[in-house]
Structure 1
Amino acid sequence: MADEQKNNHITTENGKTSVSVSEKYMLTIKEAAEYFSIGTKKMRRLAEDNLGRFAVYSGNRYLIIRTKFEKFVDESSAI
């Protein structure tokens, strides 16, 4: 059974908490690729090339700062 809080779109299933992608501050490569309709290979390359601008490396994975990437896309004529 899933409980849903209307304030911040948090759902709980089988003891796991998940937040909707549009509410997250940082996204994984896979989440960002889906959210922005970009391939995962291209998203990974963008993260590698823009480390510190809109991407951070945490442990063994790249994380995309959603708001900064949105700004990057707005300012770009091509990706």
Structure 2
Amino acid sequence: MWNKYTLSIDEAAAYFRIGEGKLRKLVSENPNAEYLLWNGNRVQIKRERFERFVDTLSAI
């Protein structure tokens, strides 16, 4: 999973150890974030960009 370009919400929750609910909230509050890739109405999280985003946070 660590070498995949994009992750589903389920995969991202396991990889980043962040709850699915929190990830879905981040997606709904930031639908145009650079770390998101939309395929129709399904969202994928760009792993490396989301890692950089998380690195800037002190709490999530």
Q: TM-score interval w.r.t. the shorter chain? A: 0.7 to 0.9
* TM-score, length of structure 1 as denominator length: 0.67
Q: Deviations over 1:8-60 (max 9, x none)?
A: xxxxxxxxxxxxx1010000000000100011111111122233321122122
* Structure 2, unaligned runs of 5 or more: none
Instruction: Compare the two structures and name the one with the higher helix fraction.
Output: 2
2:6 matches 1:26: yes
Counterpart-to-counterpart distance in 2, 1:26 and 1:50: 17
Task: State whether residues 47 and 64 of structure 1, in contact with CA within 8 Å, keep that contact through their aligned partners in structure 2.
Answer: no
Q: For residue 40 of structure 1, what is the amino acid of its counterpart?
A: E
Equivalent pairs, count:
59
Q: Which of 25, 49, 55 is matched with 1:74 structurally?
A: 55
Which of structures 1 and 2 has the larger relative contact order (alpha carbons within 8 angstroms, sep 6+)? 2
TM-score by length of 2: 0.85
**Cα RMSD (Å):** 1.2
Give distance in 2, aligned partners of 1:68 and 1:55: 9
User: Unpaired runs of 5+ in structure 1?
Assistant: 1-20
The one-letter code matched in structure 2 to 1:50 is: N
Task: From the CA coordinates, give the structure whose radius of gyration is larger.
Answer: 1
* Identity level (%): 47
